[in-house]
Amino acid sequence: MGASAEDADKQGDNVKMLLRFAAAVAAGFLATSVVHSQPADWPARPIRIIVPAPAGGPYDQVIRPVAQHMSTALKIPVVVENRPSAGNIVGTQAGANAAPDGYTLTMTGMLNTIVQGMYENVPFDIVKDFEHIGEIGRAAQWLVVRSDAGINSFEELLQRAKREPGKINYASSGAGSTGHLVMEQLQRAAGIQLTHVPYKGGAPALQDVLAGVVSVIVIPPNAALSHVQGGKLKVLAVSSPERSTAVPNVPAFAELGFKQLTVSSWVGVSAPKGTPAPIVRKLHAVLQVAVNDPAVVKLLEFQGMTPAASTQEQYAQLVRADTERWGQLVRSLNIKAN
C-alpha cells in the first residue's frame, strides 16, 4: 500500500532535520578550521623580535625603527629583545624554539648562513626551522687599501700579489667573517696568495689598516666612507652588482670579471616553523610597508644598506642559497669557530 500524506510529511520533516544537522556540523568544522589557521584575535598581546646581537649595534639600530613602524601598523607593541652571543647562536636558537603563534619573531641575517657551517652541532637549522617572513635590507662590501700603500687599482693589487705571493697582508674582523670569505674567494678566483690577519672585531681591524699595520681590508661602505672622503683609504672595487653611487668611479667586481664576488650582507625577519600562514602573510605585508617607509629608508641608507623589498619565497630562497654557498666555502677552508 502507498504511504499516507501524514507519513510523507513526517519523512520530509526528518530529511529537513538531517540537512540542518549536517549543515551545522559542516559549519562547526569550518569555524574550527578558521580559528586554528588564523586566530581571530591576533595580535592580542605584544610581539617580540629577538635580536641575536648587542643593543646599540648595527643589527639593533636597523631593527628598532622597523619594529616601531610594525607596532603602529598592527596597533600592538612590538618590542626588541637583545640576546647576543658568538655567532648569533643563542638568540637565533631562542627564536627557533619559540611557540609558533606569531608573537615571537627573530632578526635573521647572512651571518646565520655562515655560522651554520662553522660551528659543530648548531642547535637549529636556519633553513628548515623558520618561516622566513621577508628581507629588510642589504649592504655591499668595499675592498679598500690605505691611500699610501702604493696600490692604486684592483689590477695593481693583483699584479703585486702575483709578483710577491703572500707578502700582502689583509685584515678581517675574524675567521669566517664576510670580509675574510670575500678575500678567500678573490684569492681562488684570481690565483693569488695573500696573508690573512684576523682581528677580534671590525673596529680594531680597521684601525690597524688606518695605522699602516695592514694594507688591505674588505668592509661595509658605512665603515669606509668617511675615511675615503678624508683621503686615508682608497676603494679598489665594490661587491654590489653595479657601481655604488657613493663612489661612482670605482668598478664592481662583476665588471672586472669576478662575478662570483658579488656579495651583499643582508638581514631580515623570520618566525618559528609552523607559524600559521595567514599570520606570516600579515607580518610580511606589514614588514614591507615598514621597509619602504621614507624614514626607515633614510636610516638604512645611513647604515650603508639598501632597502630590500622581497616576497616570502624570495627571502627563503636567499637563506637557502647563502647557506649552501658559504657552507661549501667554509668547509673547503676548514674554518672552525674557536
**3-state SS, one letter per residue, for the chain:** CCCCHHHHHHHHHHHHHHHHHHHHHHHHHHHHHHHHHCCCCCCCCCEEEEECCCCCCHHHHHHHHHHHHHHHHHCCCEEEEECCCHHHHHHHHHHHHCCCCCCEEEEEEHHHHHHHHHCCCCCCCCCCCEEEEEEEEEEECEEEEECCCCCCCHHHHHHHHHHCCCCCEEEECCCCCHHHHHHHHHHHHHCCCCEEEECCCHHHHHHHHHCCCCCEEEECHHHHHHHHHCCCEEEEEECCCCCCCCCCCCCECHHHCCHHHCCEEEEEEEEECCCCHHHHHHHHHHHHHHHCCHHHHHHHHHCCCEECCCCHHHHHHHHHHHHHHHHHHHHHHCCCCC
Q: 75-90 pLDDT, tens per residue?
A: 999 999 999 988 899 9
Same domain as 280, residue 134: yes
Examine the fold and report which residue of 261, 278, 304 is the final residue of a domain before the chain moves on.
261
Whichever domain contains 201, its CATH number is 3.40.190.10
Number of domains in the chain: 2
Q: 135-162 pLDDT, tens per residue?
A: 999 999 999 999 999 999 999 999 999 9
What pLDDT sits at residue 338? 57
Q: Is residue 14 part of a domain?
A: no
Q: Is residue 20 part of a domain?
A: no
Write out the chain's pLDDT in tens, 338 residues.
444 444 444 454 554 444 454 444 444 443 333 334 556 789 999 999 999 999 988 889 899 999 999 999 999 999 999 999 888 999 999 999 999 999 999 999 999 999 988 988 899 999 999 999 999 999 999 999 999 999 999 999 999 999 999 999 999 999 899 999 999 999 999 999 999 999 988 899 999 999 999 999 999 998 999 999 999 999 999 999 999 989 999 999 999 999 999 999 999 999 999 999 999 999 999 999 999 999 999 988 888 888 988 999 999 999 999 999 999 999 998 888 75
Same domain as 277, residue 231: no
Same domain as 114, residue 75: yes
Give the residue numbers spanning the domain of 301: 47-140+265-333
Same domain as 274, residue 292: yes
Examine the fold and report which residue of 227, 261, 295 is the final residue of a domain before the chain moves on.
261
